[in-house]
Amino acid sequence: MRSPVFIAALLVAVLLDSAFLQVLAIGGARPWLFPVVLAFVCFNASKPAAWWAALGMGVLYDLVSPVAAPGGTTIVVVGPNTIGCLLAAAAAIPLRGVVFKRNPVAVGVLAGALLLIHQVGWFASWTVRGWLGDPVPWTVGEVSGAMLASFWAACATALLGIPVSYALDRIEGWWGFPPVGSVARRV
């Protein structure tokens, strides 16, 4: 996998996720672009490259998403999104042989599933931090609402993932993924 292409796609995903895609929010649920990029990379790159991509993506999303802390301040905590992205990659990498990765619908639906898995890791890491006495970014009554919003965000991400995975599939040659199996495809 060519790192500059991945970094450019990741930066575009971060910019669109943080600025533009909030416009598409319906009732607090909004689509995310990073699970689509993560699914695309996990299905096409080598295993070590997919793991490093998930780690880099999680750390970058932790750095650009500060959370509210008591006292009205915001803090940056590296870990929750990183754990979520690594869990999502752990779910996606074994599915490489099962999923028809050229099908945009399959990649879109799996991007929604990866967002749900990411959110499980995110909630779990914040819950463990809460047990250790650190502040968590929700109150007790908001947890079920936040999980329901995560489900609807995963549905919106799956819908957004279909055209985005189609576009990513058109530029797959730019990424420099290794050939699959013993026969290399000609681009």
Domain residues for 119? Answer: 3-175
The predicted-structure confidence for 48-100, as pLDDT tens digits, reads as follows 999 999 999 999 999 999 887 777 788 899 999 999 999 999 999 999 888 87
CATH code at position 145? 1.10.1760
Burial class from Cβ neighbours inside 10 Å (0-12, 13-18, 19+) for residue 17 reads buried
The predicted-structure confidence for 8-61, as pLDDT tens digits, reads as follows 999 999 999 998 888 888 877 789 999 999 999 999 999 999 999 999 999 999
Tell me, yes or no, whether 185 lies in a domain.
no
Tell me, yes or no, whether 186 lies in a domain.
no
Number of separate domains in the chain: 1
Q: What pLDDT does residue 141 have?
A: 63
Bigger pLDDT: 140 or 150? 150
Tell me, yes or no, whether 79 lies in a domain.
yes
Q: What is the dihedral of CA 141, 145, 146, 148, to 10 degrees?
A: 150
Tell me, yes or no, whether 183 lies in a domain.
no
